[in-house]
Amino acid sequence: MSQASFDASIPVLTEVLKTEAPAEAHAAPPPSAADSLEAAAIVGWTDAEWAVMEHRLSVRIMHQLQSRVDFVLEQRIKDSMAEVLNHALRDLTNEIRIGLHDTIEKIVSRAVTQELTHLQAQKK
């Protein structure tokens, strides 16, 4: 098995089973067929068989983790995008509002100037 990320402070499965076995020996039910197969596998598997099991477990766990990570990542991206889009929309709306107010002010000012010029021309 791969020992690349081995942490000595974390007990391995066989250590946990050894420490729990004496306390549970009196109340343990008789071994089932699955227990017998597991015991035979622990004792009789070759390094190649363990490597295959490790690979299969790694692939299965990675697949499960990836699907969960994909879901969480998608949710976070959606939340972030919603926040970014709301901020951008608020800024864009504000810019359009300011531009529209300036344009209307210029149009009204020009219209008033033209009307006053027209009225003054009629007076003469």
Residues 61-107 pLDDT 10s: 999 999 889 999 999 999 999 999 999 999 999 999 999 999 999 99
Is pLDDT at 108 greater than 80 in this prediction? yes
How is 85-112 classified by DSSP, letter by letter?
Answer: HHHHHHHHHHHHHHHHHHHHHHHHHHHH
Cα–Cα separations (whole angstroms), residue 46 to 18, 36, 111, 112: 22, 17, 94, 96
Per-residue confidence (pLDDT) for residue 43, from 0 to 100: 77
Q: What is the mean pLDDT of residues 99-123?
A: 94
Is pLDDT at 113 greater than 80 in this prediction? yes
From CA 1, how far away is CA 111, in angstroms rounded?
85
What does the domain layout of the chain look like in residue ranges? 13-123
Cβ neighbours for 50, distance < 8 A, ≥ 6 positions apart: 1
From CA 93, how far away is CA 68, in angstroms rounded?
37
**pLDDT band at residue 1 using 50, 70 and 90 as cut-offs:** very low
Beta carbons of 78 and 29 less than 8 angstroms apart: no
Residues 13-70 pLDDT 10s: 666 566 555 554 555 556 677 777 777 777 777 888 888 888 999 999 999 999 889 9
